[in-house]
Amino acid sequence: MSFPVLISWNTVFEQAGWTVGHCSHCGQLTAVRVDNAVEVVRIYLYPVHRRAMGQVARCDFCERPIRLQRSVPTIGLSEWSPPEGLTALFDTLPPFNEIRPPDRPTTKRLRSLLSAAREAASFYKVNIGDISISLAVGAVLGGVLAALIGMSLFDAKLVHDPIDRFVTLCVVIGLAVGASSAGIIAAVFQRVRTAFDKINTACANYEIDVGRLDELSADYGKVIQQAIQRVRDTTDLGA
């Protein structure tokens, strides 16, 4: 008897440190996370090989990629954290210690966060794996309900097809309608959760006026507005 050997490759990002860089979306110098990109080969989910792929940098506020100059100074991961404030980071990294960053995120920056959250929560980025249980439950419920309706219609003598052919057709339609309906609902929840996670992380790390964020969210659609309402509810519960 032979067994299949499952081999997978994927790239993981391991945060290595901090630096300062200019985010064109936020329109200012900001804290930048520097991550090591590592290719990991797994056999049956067990890592057997790691290969360094280089470094990638992201704006810590909107999480968009940033191109850094080779000579930029960096500090270790444990040497700074966002709640300490941008000034503390700038002070540790000459020549940025000569620059005073804004105390609070500017309107441009808040808009950058909202547009980044909207991009991350795009319908096209919904992970099918994350909504697979909803799809399966929706398909089963839709199939069972359609079978019951089909048999009721047959019992009421409203259809004259053979019962097995008619009920099979009802079940197929029920599976499709149930799965797609549940999938659409689950995708909306998934999108709100993705946007919430991104905005809530920024609110936890930076002094964001959530009321101002709420005002601006009118330009970014219902998913972002619902995510901000969840952030407000979470903030109120924590207060």
Q: What residue type is 101 in one-letter code?
A: P
Closest to Zn ion by CB, 170 or 199: 199
CA distances from 59 to 30, 62, 64, 128, 226 (A): 7, 6, 5, 28, 24
Q: Which stretch in 45-53, 59-67, 181-189, 194-202 sits in contact with Zn ion by CB under 5 A?
A: 59-67
Number of residues that bind Zn ion (CB under 5 A): 6
Smallest gap from Cβ 75 to Zn ion, in A, equals 19
Contact (CB, 8 A) for 64 and 58:
yes
Among 20, 59, 192, 208, the residue binding Zn ion under the rule CB under 5 A is 59
Smallest gap from Cβ 108 to Zn ion, in A, equals 10
Smallest gap from Cβ 62 to Zn ion, in A, equals 3
Smallest gap from Cβ 51 to Zn ion, in A, equals 29
Per DSSP, helices labelled H in 50-131 are 86-92, 107-120
Smallest gap from Cβ 71 to Zn ion, in A, equals 21
Closest to Zn ion by CB, 80 or 154: 80
Smallest gap from Cβ 66 to Zn ion, in A, equals 8
Closest to Zn ion by CB, 62 or 131: 62
58: contact with Zn ion by CB under 5 A: no
113: contact with Zn ion by CB under 5 A: no
Measured CA to CA, the distance from residue 46 to residue 154 in angstroms comes to 54
Structure tokens at 34: 């520097």
Measured CA to CA, the distance from residue 182 to residue 136 in angstroms comes to 9
Q: Where are the beta strands (DSSP E) in 65-224?
A: 75-76
Contact (CB, 8 A) for 50 and 40:
yes
Question: 160: Cβ–Cβ under 8 A, 6 or more apart, which residues?
Answer: none
62: contact with Zn ion by CB under 5 A: yes
Q: Provide the phi-psi class of 54: left if phi over 0, else alpha when psi is between -120 and 50, else beta.
A: left
Closest to Zn ion by CB, 25 or 191: 25
Closest to Zn ion by CB, 116 or 227: 116
User: Within 10 A of 86 (CB to CB), how many other CB atoms are there?
Assistant: 24
Site string for Zn ion, 8-47 (x = CB under 5 A): ---------------x-xx---------------------
Q: What are the residues binding Zn ion (CB under 5 A)? A: 23, 25-26, 59, 61-62
